[in-house]
Structure 1
Amino acid sequence: MKLSILDQVPISANQTAKEALEQSVKLAQAAEQLGYERYWIAEHHDMPGLACSAPEVMLSYIGARTSRIRVGSGAVLLPHYKPYKIAEVYNMLATLFPDRIDIGIGRAPGGSAEVTSALSDHFLQNVWDMPASVKDLLHFIYNDHPEDSEFAKIKAAPIPDNAPVPWLLGTSKKSALLAAEHGMAYAFGLFMSDKDAAEILDCYYQAFKSRTNRHPQTILTVTAFCADTTERAEEIALSSLVWSIQRGKGEGHSGVPSIEDAKQYRLSETEKDALEKMKQKMIIGNPDQVRNNLLDLQKQYKADEVMIVTITYAPEDRIKSYLLIAHELLKTETKI
Structure 2
Amino acid sequence: MKLSVLDQSVSLAGSTEDAAIRDTLDLAVTCERLGYHRFWLSEHHSLPTIVGSAPEILMAAVAARTSRIRIGSAGVMLPHYASLKVAEQFRVLEALAPGRIDLGVGRAPGGDMRTAQALNPHTFGTADHFPGQVQDLIAWTGGRRHKGIDAHPRGEFSPEVWVLGSSDYGAQLAAHMGLPYAFAYFFSDGQGARQAIDLYRQLYRGSERHPKASPTLCVWALAADTEAEAQYHALSRERWRVDRGRGVLRPLQSPAVVAEQPFTEAEMATVGPMRERGFVGSGPQVAQKLRQLAQDFELEELVINCWAHNPSVRRRSYELLAREFDLTSGT
User: TM range, normalised to the smaller chain?
Assistant: over 0.9
Question: Compared with structure 1, are the counterparts of its residues 244 and 199 closer, same or farther at alpha carbon in structure 2 (3 Å cutoff)?
Answer: closer
Indicate yes or no: 2:161 matched with 1:161: no
Look up the match of 1:212. Answer: 208
Q: Is the 1:222–1:282 Cα contact (8 Å) retained in structure 2?
A: no
In structure 1, C-alpha distance between the alignment counterparts of 2:150 and 2:18, rounded to whole Å = 35
1:193-241 Cα deviation digits (max 9, x unpaired): 3533223212212222222242321211111010011000001111111
Q: Is the 1:103–1:167 Cα contact (8 Å) retained in structure 2?
A: yes
Indicate yes or no: 2:292 matched with 1:296: yes
Look up the match of 1:107. Answer: 107
Q: What SS is found at the alignment partner of 2:216?
A: strand
In structure 2, C-alpha distance between the alignment counterparts of 1:305 and 1:180, rounded to whole Å = 18
Q: Is the 2:143–2:158 Cα contact (8 Å) retained in structure 1?
A: no
Look up the match of 1:52. Answer: 52
Look up the match of 1:183. Answer: 178
Deviates more, 1:126-135 or 1:92-101: 126-135
Q: Is the 1:5–1:307 Cα contact (8 Å) retained in structure 2?
A: yes
Structure 2, unmatched stretches of 5+, are none
In structure 1, C-alpha distance between the alignment counterparts of 2:248 and 2:170, rounded to whole Å = 32
RMSD after superposition: 1.6
In structure 1, C-alpha distance between the alignment counterparts of 2:54 and 2:273, rounded to whole Å = 31
In structure 2, C-alpha distance between the alignment counterparts of 1:332 and 1:302, rounded to whole Å = 23
Q: What SS is found at the alignment partner of 2:200?
A: helix
Letter in 1 for 2:107: R
Indicate yes or no: 2:257 matched with 1:261: yes
Question: Compared with structure 1, are the counterparts of its residues 47 and 281 closer, same or farther at alpha carbon in structure 2 (3 Å cutoff)?
Answer: farther
Structure 1 residues 65-104: aligned runs within 5 Å? 65-104=65-104
Q: Is the 1:226–1:290 Cα contact (8 Å) retained in structure 2?
A: yes
Letter in 1 for 2:214: Q
Deviates more, 1:282-291 or 1:35-44: 282-291
Percent identity, please: 36
In structure 2, C-alpha distance between the alignment counterparts of 1:212 and 1:252, rounded to whole Å = 43
Structure 1, unmatched stretches of 5+, are 146-150
Offset of residue 277 of structure 1: 2.2
Look up the match of 1:26. Answer: 26
Look up the match of 1:242. Answer: 239
Q: What SS is found at the alignment partner of 2:150?
A: coil
Q: Is the 1:312–1:318 Cα contact (8 Å) retained in structure 2?
A: yes
Look up the match of 1:137. Answer: 137
Indicate yes or no: 2:174 matched with 1:174: no
Letter in 1 for 2:235: L
Which 4+ runs in 1 deviate beyond 4 A? Answer: none
Deviates more, 1:120-129 or 1:78-87: 120-129
Q: What SS is found at the alignment partner of 1:71?
A: strand
Offset of residue 331 of structure 1: 4.9
- How many pairs were matched up? 327
Question: Compared with structure 1, are the counterparts of its residues 130 and 331 closer, same or farther at alpha carbon in structure 2 (3 Å cutoff)?
Answer: closer
